[in-house]
């Protein structure tokens, strides 16, 4: 059964005025008065790890801004497989396509547990028409989505599999030397890179043997930043 992404104990009106990531999210340019009067329909949701926010092809009544965590967007392939096409971090927006259509183009799943704000499409469309700041923020989010798609095509879909894996690790957090992060499962890594789960497992085992990554408790990773950077450039 698909897990329910809404924690009913926490669901409620979004407190946008005191949001710790307000300066990075869609409505950062709105005044406190605008936030109080316009955004009442916005809900805060807690999304457990692996929970589905929405599914490809479903009706799209809302967009989601990511406050914390990591969201993967995947598409179902004609052969029954799947491909992860983007990863969304705090400040990113999921479901932007609902502003120009009525169906979601991807399935959105929490790669790590996340906090999101669910915003009705009508609210965003109204603000797009009436607020220059929101209109500009939407344009920036569209451009960010294009940039992320370009990165996935150029960095994670070309070159030897080991080089792609190194670039993925750098994308996920190894770019910050000495910073640990949570590693996706091997199936997700394969879907991100267009390789099999078995190949992803083999490459990660080789990286560990060569000292490029050190895995704590099965998921937390500390990386050899310099070594991965050299391999990523191959």
DSSP 63-120: EEEEEEEEEEEEEE-TTS-EEEEEEE-TT-EE-GGGGT-SB-SSEEEEEEEEEEEEEE
Q: In this structure, are 122 and 224 located in the same domain?
A: no
pLDDT at 10: 42
Residues of the chain with pLDDT under 70: 1-30, 32-40, 175-181, 217-220
Task: Report if residue 127 sits inside a domain.
Answer: yes
Q: What is the pLDDT of residue 197?
A: 94
pTM: 0.78
Domain membership of residue 138 (yes or no) is yes
Supply the pLDDT for residue 3: 42
Report the pLDDT value the prediction gives residue 163, as an integer from 0 to 100: 95
Average pLDDT, the chain: 82
- Where in the sequence is the domain holding 38, given as residue range(s)? 12-156
Q: What is the CATH number of the domain that holds 150?
A: 2.60.120.10
Residue 80 and residue 41 in one domain:
yes
């Amino acid at each position: 059964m698909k897990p329910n992404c809404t924690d009913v104990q926490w669901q409620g009106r979004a407190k946008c005025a005191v949001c710790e990531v307000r300066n990075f999210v869609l409505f950062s340019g709105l005044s406190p008065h605008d936030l109080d009067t316009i955004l009442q329909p916005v809900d805060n949701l807690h999304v457990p790890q692996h929970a589905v926010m929405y599914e490809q092809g479903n009706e799209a009544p809302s967009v989601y801004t990511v406050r914390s965590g990591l969201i993967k967007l995947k598409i179902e392939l004609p052969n029954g497989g799947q491909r992860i096409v983007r990863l969304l971090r705090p400040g990113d927006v999921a479901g932007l396509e609902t502003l120009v259509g009525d169906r979601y183009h991807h399935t959105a799943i929490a790669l790590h547990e996340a906090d999101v704000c669910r915003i009705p499409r009508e609210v965003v469309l109204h603000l797009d028409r009436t607020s220059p700041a929101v209109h500009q923020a939407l344009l920036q989010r569209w451009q960010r989505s294009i940039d992320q798609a370009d990165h996935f095509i150029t960095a994670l879909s070309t070159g030897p599999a080991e080089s792609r894996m190194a670039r993925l690790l750098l994308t996920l957090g190894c770019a910050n030397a000495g910073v640990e992060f949570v590693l996706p499962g091997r199936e997700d890594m394969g879907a991100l890179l267009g390789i099999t789960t078995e190949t992803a497992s083999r490459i990660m085992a080789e990286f560990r043997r060569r000292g490029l990554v050190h895995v704590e408790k099965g998921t937390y990773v500390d990386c050899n930043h310099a070594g991965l950077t050299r391999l990523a450039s191959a």
